[in-house]
Structure 1
Amino acid sequence: MPDPATDPGGGRGLRVGSLFSGYGGLDLAVEEVFNGQTVWFSEFSPAPARVFAHHWPGVPNLGDITTIDWNEVEPVDVICGGFPCQDVSTVGKRAGLRPGTRSGLWARMAEAIDVLQPEWVVAENVRGLLSATATRPTPEGDDTDGRNPIPATPESATAIEGAAVRGVEPDPWDLGDESARPLRALGAGMSTSGLC
C-alpha cells in the first residue's frame, strides 16, 4: 500500500485544478509532489495561457476566474494557485484583499475551494499576505463594516488539555491573539475558505 506521506495520491494520480495558472510553474511542482495530473486551468492573460496550453495540450482553460460557475466544473483532488500579490506585497501600495483589488481575486479562489471541496489546496503568495489588511465581502442585509467581529483565535484552539497554545511560538509579525482589527489578509483567506 502506498505511503500517504510520500504518495498523497495513494497510488492513483490526483486530479489537479489550476487557478491563476500563469505559465505553469506551480503546477509542475504540484503534479510532482502529488503524483497528479492537471485536468483544467484558469488563466485570463493570453500569453501565459498559450505557454500553459503548449505544455499541457488538451487541458481546457476555464478562462477568466470571475466568470466561472464552479458548480459546472469537474471536481478535483487538488486546487493550486498563486492569486495576484500586488495589493498585499510589502513593496506595493498595500491595498489588501478588498473587493475590486487584484489581490481581492482571492475570494474567487475561495469560492472554487468552497464549491469543489478538494482534498488539498496549494496557495502561493508573498510574505506580505501575513500583514496586509482585508475586508470580507459583506453578505446581503449585513450592516457590519466587514472587519472580523470575533477573536482571531477561536476559544477551542487556545488550549489543548488545559495547556495554552498561544505562547507556543513567537509572533515575528506582531499580529497578536486579539480580534484582528483590521482583519488581516491571511485570516480572511483562511476563514473565507473554511480551511482554518
Structure 2
Amino acid sequence: MIDDMPKNNYSTNLKLGSLFDGIGVFPLSASRYGITPTWASEIEKAPVSITKRYFPTMLHFGDITKIDGGKKPPVHIITFGSPCQNLSNIGKREGLTGSQSSLFYHAIRIIEEMRCATNGAYPAIAVWENVMGAFSSNNRLDFKAVLESFTNTEIPMPTSGVWAKAGMVRGNEVDVCWRVLDARYWGKPTLPQRRRRIFLVADFGGKRAREILFKTRELQSFPASCGEDRLPSTAASRRSSEKTRRKIPVIRPFQKRRMRSTAKDKNKSGFIGSFGRTNDPFPTLLAGSVNIFSFWYEGNEKEGYIRQLTPLECERLMGLPEGWTALGHKDEVISDYARYKAIGNAIAVPCAEYIMAGIAEVL
C-alpha cells in the first residue's frame, strides 16, 4: 500500500478477497485491522484505477462470472456487496432473478469452489452487504434464498412473515448472522448520513458470526488525509460561534425523492417537510443522483443559498479518507461523475471497519 495509507496496530496473517469491490472499502477497512487485501473483482474502470492506487499489490480478476474460485489464491475472508438494483425499493424489484442482483449466486459459487478446492479450509468467513429492499423483494423470499445459499439448508419463513432487522440461523455447520447498520450511528464522530444496509456474516468454521456482528467494541480513530474546510456541523458551529461573530451556520439537506413525490401528489405539508430540519442527517447517497442542501446563518435566511454536495463532502459522509476517489493509479484525475457514482455505490467505512475489527479479533 502507498505511504499515506493509515497505519494500524494489528498484526495478523489473515487475507481478504473482495468481490464487487467498488472503490475498495472492505480492503481499506481490512487493512486497518491487519488483514491483507489479496485480490478483488470489479469491472468499472474508475473504481479499479482508484483501488490500484492504494493497493498496488492486490490482484484484479475482473468479471465475476469468469472467476473460478478453486483456481484463485485462497483467502480467509471473502466480502461482497452484490448489485442491489433489482432489490432496491426504488428499482423495478425483479429480486435475485434480476440480471444484476442475480450475480449474488456467482459469489456463492466462487466461495463453494474455493472451499471445495481447499477441503473446507478457505474461506472461513464471508461477509455480504446489501440494501434493505432485500428483506422484502419477491414477497420476502429473496432473503430466504440468501440464507439458504449460505447455509445450504432450508430456512423457514418467520412466523410474522417479516424478516427481523437482526437475526441468526445455523445450517450444515455454517453460522449465519445478519444485522441492519445505519451509517449515521457509526464512526468517530458519527456520520451525518442516513444509510441503512443489511450486513450478513457467515462463519463456515464455527460459531463466531454472533461475536463478529453483535459484540460491542471500540473502533480505532483514523485521521483524514487532507485538511480542506469541512461542512460545519451544528454542534461544532456553536462551539466556534465566537470566531464567526456568533453567526451560527444552519445546514438543511433536501430529501429529493420525497420532494418529487409530494410535489406530484400536491401534498403541501409533505413538500415543505422535504426541506429537512437543522439536525436531520443527509439522505442516503445514491449512485444516480447528487444531494443538495440549503445553507444560511441563523437569522439571515434570506441570504442563504442552495448547492450540491461536492465529491469531497460525499467522501466525508461515507467515512472515506479525503480525496480517496480523486485520482487513479496513474495519477489521472477521476471525473466528478465517476466519483459520485462510485461513492454512491460504496459501503460506509465505519460499518465495514466494525465487522473487520470483529473478524481480526475472533480469528
The normalised TM-score by structure 2 is 0.36
For each residue in 1:109-165, what CA deviation from the matched residue of structure 2 results, as whole angstroms up to 9, or x when unmatched? 1112212231111111111111112xxxxxxxxxxxxxxxxxxxxxxxxxxxxxxxx
Q: Deviations over 1:14-72 (max 9, x none)?
A: 10000000111132223335x31110000111111111111100211011000111111
8 Å contact kept, 1:13–1:37:
yes
The whole-number CA distance in structure 1 between the counterparts of 2:43 and 2:134 is: 22
Aligned to 2:114: 116
More helix by share: 2
The residue type equivalent to 1:52 in the other structure is: T
Correspondence for 2:16:
16
Q: Is the 8 A contact 2:71 2:114 kept in 1?
A: no
SS of match in other structure, 2:43: coil
Unmatched runs of 5 consecutive residues or more in structure 2 = 1-9, 116-122, 152-173, 177-363
Question: Given that residues 111 and 193 in structure 1 are in contact (C-alpha distance below 8 angstroms), is that contact kept between their aligned partners in structure 2?
Answer: no
Q: Is the 8 A contact 1:44 1:63 kept in 2?
A: yes
1:82-119: per-residue Cα shift (whole Å, max 9, x none)?
Answer: 11011001111101001x51011000111122122311
Within 5 Å, give how 1:175-194 maps onto structure 2. 184-194=141-151
Q: Separation in 1 of the partners of 2:29 and 2:141? A: 28
Task: Write out aligned runs for 1:84-123 (5 A).
Answer: 84-98=83-97, 101-117=99-115, 118-123=123-128
Structure 1 residue ranges, 4+ long, deviating more than 3 angstroms after superposition: 30-33
How many equivalent residue pairs?
137
Contact 2:13/2:36 (8 A) holds in 1: yes
Distance 1:94 1:102 in 2: 11
Structure 1's unaligned 5+ residue stretches are: 1-9, 134-181
CA contact (8 A) 1:17 1:40 kept: yes
Give the SS at the match of 1:22.
Answer: coil
Give me the whole-angstrom Cα distance separating, in 1, the residues matched to 2:109 and 2:124: 15
Q: Residues 27, 185 of structure 1: CA spacing in aligned structure 2 closer, same or farther, 3 A cutoff?
A: farther
- Taking the aligned partners of 1:128 and 1:66, their CA distance within structure 2 comes to 24
Paired residue for 1:79? 78
User: Percentage identity across aligned positions?
Assistant: 33
Which residue pairs with 1:132 in the alignment? 137
Greater strand fraction, Structure 1 or Structure 2: 2
- Structure 2 CA distance, aligned partners of 1:129 and 1:191? 14
- Contact residue 113 and residue 193 of structure 1 kept, 8 A: no
